[in-house]
Amino acid sequence: MAGFVNNLLILLLLFQNICLGFRSPLSVFKRYKDTTTSLSSECLGSDQPVISFGLSDFALDIRMPGVTPKQSDTYLCMSIPLPVDDEAYVVDFKPHASMDTVHHMLLFGCNEPSSAENYWDCDEGTCKDKSNILYAWARNAPPTRLPKGVGFRVGGETGSRYFVLQVHYGDVSAFRDKHKDCSGVTLHLTHQKQPLIAGMYLMMSVNTVIPPGEKVVDADIACHYKRSPMHLFAYRVHTHRLGKVVSGYRVRNGQWTLIGRQSPQLPQAFYPVEYPVDVSYNDILAARCVFTGEGRTTETHIGGTANDEMCNFYIMYYMEAKHAVSYMTCTQNANPEMFRNIPNEANIPIPVKSDVLKMMHGHHEETKDSDTSYLLQQAKKEEAEILDQDFHIEEAVEWPGLDLKLGQVSGLALDPENNLVVFHRGDHLWDENSFDSKFVYQQRGLGPIEQNTILVLNPSNAKLLHSTGKSLFYLPHGLSVDKNGNYWVTDVALHQVFKLGASDKEPLLILGVALQPGSDKNHFCQPTDVAVDPITGSIYVSDGYCNSRIIQFSPNGLYVMQWGEETSLGRARPGQFHIPHSLALISDLSQLCVADRENGRIQCFRLETGEFTKEIKHKAFGRELFAVSYVPGGLLFAVNGMPYPGEAESVQGFVMNFSTGEIIDTFIPLRKSFEMPHDIVASEDRTVFVGDVHAKAVWKFASAEKMEHRSVKKAGIEVQETKESETIVEARLKNKPESTDPLKNTDKHLVQEASSTGVSFVLITTLLIIPVVVLLAILVFIRWRKTTVYGADGEHKLDSSSGRILGRLRGKGSGGINLGNFFASHKGYSRKGFDRLSTEGSDQEKDEDDGTDSEEECSASPLPPAPSSS
């Protein structure tokens, strides 16, 4: 028995060492991240500046080595070499600094720092060779995030081999206690080649003079761009105390396009370019800083001290790798006359509270505690809109609306009371016999739908509150509700758009000619959706299955303008459509987003001009994207179509960050399955409804946190809360879309881990018990074999000392445990090493029925292959 126990103990020790050997590198980085967020009185990053967390990724901690500046406006520099010789890419930054001690930080890349000392006065310079600005921080700015696939190139034959950190200490009164400062930045680097290379374009005034007492002084900068195309994705403004507003523009053919505009007295972060801007050869980049000389008794010049001024507009851009240039500057005004036409917004100061100004410039002792948190709250709010919003959507399984008897559900909307409005086709179907080759409706003999096609439901219990739309429509499609509660719908058979009052039996407004398809100002061809601007009342129509355009009408139905064209051969260009199928109006940003169905993407445009602003496209969308919905605050919801035979993308719902286009979450129903989800609508509390034209059903989804709260409230006991929490976390792990960004995955993992302590405990306990049980089974088996082979002697052989047992573990003792022989006796074992695990098994199973749905609707387009219609 003693030998049995000894075997067990030693095997457990070996198992523990194996587990430690396979410790997740992400967990190492988690602890590393936790240590680097401490207060600046400790230099935790200097002991271990490099942390590897994957085969190709690592973090580099760049910190001031415990400095104590002795006078205000001190600039100190330090350098650190790139820890690898081959090419790498910086893909993320995390600052460690506070405005209590640091005015701003700059991170340079170069090949030869100005000094080899631990740190030095930056008056000696930053680099002996050419230096490139990689990053800039000031005044508690939120972290800079680079788009996916974009990185700053360093190392290799052409990239920088050193990082030089420059820290400007403005007011040194914070160092009266002689503490040491360790401000800096942590970089996330990867060896994986990035297809797009980031760079910095610095626009800077060098000769501006601000007269004393002058109310308004403009500093203008402009340069012609003479390089390969670049795409701008972030900007930062910088002045000292006299700056009121800084604005940057791209000027093309006399048209001024805003890059970014901000008060330099607010957190000087790199903010995303709200409407992505591309810059081409011979465009002009222009910037204006507005200053005031009020309160000064002498002239103020451009300079490096706090009593001087600066006018800087930083632009982060990316270019294709083969054309990439890492750093460019503009310090002149190539065309002063052009600034007569600068948009007036560039001349309007952005007001900032006086107490905020005091805090920004170090006079925080005069500021109340409630005001001290103003900037932090603002930064968090901006970051919540700009960066990821981590939550999970799942079906509200208790909602009875899934059991409603409906026709083909084509449209969904929410009215001003947040009631759900459903637009369905009753007993009519859209099938291959509905239209001829010229898109003329062929089933007029059926007459209009005799059921009420517009249903208003209680969003909580699906109770019918109101219904209308009887004997008006043939093939309903799109639906929206304006701020006054009017219903706006489209009918693809009638080729018309209707405005209906909630209690009116006859339409208040009709656009288009009944049953006549066309492409002029007065006709539509199977219009798909309609949206109404709540501010201006302008009407936007997506037209449609046989046209490829968006049309704007005045509030009373007069034609204003249109944009869009058919998709050309090859990759679809901005402004081209292949069935503009659904509209989402983003009134707070003055944009209109279109689900470009057959191009599998979302396109967004300016409401006023129809100018293209952005495209959102993901592989997970597949070939078709059916519908899109927007929630104020930065969330975009969408549903895609069924995959084509042989394609892997599943039909599902998506939650996206509107600013970045990144997928935050995906969701699928638990009851039934999506067949052809046709429309989606979401409310500000993140309740989501999806209507399916084939399943003839409406699903309700809600955030997991909200459902957890409701479940706990309903049950009223703590046990139910624990159970629901486990369910939510499990669903989150299943449905979260995978990200290729290791830092981002780490952050999301930490959030999930913190919110699921109960699950983690159960999981860890289970993982520990399983190997113990397996080991016990192995030992029992071996004991049985010994007894069988050796009889009573086998028991004595197993009751050996621990030294002999170790020998047997190595396969050396007579009758000992040889793990190699043990595993080799089992099928599939290779003595060359562990066999590769197959990753193909789950993909080999194919659905035997690859045919299309018998109820699939199709537009009888004469151009093969015709996309499915709905």
Instruction: Report the alpha-carbon distance of residue 15 to residue 29 in Å, rounded.
Output: 24
Read off the amino acid at residue 577: F
Which position has the token pair 């291959």?
A: 432
Residue type, 725: S
Active-site residue flag, 749: no
CA distance 225 to 247: 18
865 prior amide bond cis, ω within 30 = yes
- Supply the DSSP symbol for 302: B
Query: Catalytic annotation on 523?
Result: no
Three-class SS state of 518: coil
364 in catalytic set: no
Instruction: Specify whether 168 is catalytic.
Output: yes
Q: Please indicate whether residue 238 is annotated as part of the active site.
A: yes
**Structure-token pair, residue 44:** 């935790």
Task: List the catalytic residue out of 96, 104, 392, 424.
Answer: 104
Find tokens 């005799």 and name the residue: 450
Among the options 64, 99, 188, 240, which is catalytic? Answer: 240
- Name 424's bridge partners: 409
Catalytic residue among 64, 78, 166, 477: 166
Q: Please tell me which residue in 64, 200, 230, 310 is annotated as part of the active site.
A: 310
Q: Tell me, yes or no, if 451 is annotated catalytic.
A: no
Angle between helices 718-735 and 704-715 (to 10 degrees): 160
Neighbours of 394 (CB within 10 A): 21
Tokens of 273: 């370019």
Alpha carbons 706 and 729: distance in angstroms, whole number: 13
Looking at residue 136, its amino acid is A
SS3 61: strand
> C-alpha distances in angstroms, 827 versus 649, 709, 835?
35, 50, 11
3-state secondary structure of 786: helix
Strands 580-586 and 576-577: unpaired
**Dihedral sign from CA coordinates of 639, 618, 135, 56:** positive
DSSP letter (8 states) at residue 106:
E
Q: Read out DSSP for 434-495?
A: SB-TT--BS-GGG-S--S--EEEE-TTT--EEEEE-TTS-SSEEEEEE-TTS-EEEEETTTT
Catalytic residue among 238, 392, 428, 694: 238
- Single out the catalytic residue among 64, 96, 103, 676: 103
CA angle 372, 377, 378 (to 5 degrees): 110
Q: Is 179 a catalytic residue?
A: no
653: DSSP letter: E
What is the helix (H) or strand (E) element at residue 14, kind and residue range? helix 2-21
φ/ψ region of 811 (left if φ > 0, alpha if ψ in -120 to 50, else beta) reads left
Distance between CA atoms of residues 657 and 94, nearest Å: 21
Q: Which residues are catalytic?
A: 103-104, 166, 168, 238, 240, 310
